[in-house]
Amino acid sequence: MVIYVIRHGETDWNTKHWLQGTTDIPLNQNGIEVAEITAEALKEVPFDVIFSSPLQRAYQTAEILRRDRKIPLIVDERLREVSFGSFEGLCCMGDGYNIPDPDFRNFFEDPAHYTPPEDGESIAELCVRGTDFLTWLIDQLEYQDKTVLISGHGALVKALLSSLLITDLKDFWKGGVHKNCAVSIIDVADGKASVRQENVIYYDKARSVNYTD
């Protein structure tokens, strides 16, 4: 099995550094265009099935990458982005920062000590469902010799890779937040998974204007 994992294309909330989480925001025009560029770069990849977050920014990205392939596009709730609860829609970077919790910066700077709002989700909880999905996928006999695409989100993608790349939550963001439409590849052989590439983009990096989801 070969698994391609992509973060969704850009949204207007990305450019404003507003926390999206589970808020359902569509791609903006730049997001559509970089997804199309990425789709062209991956046009020869023989995808057999696509799994996507139910949130439209990820689903739109998946549809663009599917192109004219007659393959299933399956929504899975486990691929939803981490929930920021009542903090969604607030600015998490720069001069506009307005999150009321002074310790929220731990989400990016000290993830092992991040405490979500009461109506949000912890990084540990996100990693559990990300690992659960990846383990489930690897165990599916029907996909053992297939090429799979997963369309998700910044923190969700890191959670999917966490069981393969990190041993401590403090290293959750090692390598940084993936850029929009960045692609990672996981190879699976004899039930064992390894990361071939992480956070690779196929468009001019000048078009990547944000680093948050």
Catalytic (active-site) positions: 8, 81
Provide the token pair at 133.
């999905």
CA–CA dist 90, 109 (Å, integer): 18
Provide the token pair at 159.
């959670």
Q: 66 and 42 in contact (C-beta within 8 Å)?
A: no
Give the three-state DSSP class for 41. Answer: helix
CA–CA dist 66, 64 (Å, integer): 5
Q: 34 and 61 in contact (C-beta within 8 Å)?
A: no
Question: How many alpha carbons lie under 13 Å from residue 44 in its C-beta half-sphere?
Answer: 1
Task: Please classify residue 181 by burial: count the beta carbons closer than 10 Å to its beta carbon, then call 0-12 exposed, 13-18 middle and 19+ buried.
Answer: buried
Q: 66 and 3 in contact (C-beta within 8 Å)?
A: no
Give the three-state DSSP class for 185. Answer: strand
Q: 19 and 84 in contact (C-beta within 8 Å)?
A: yes
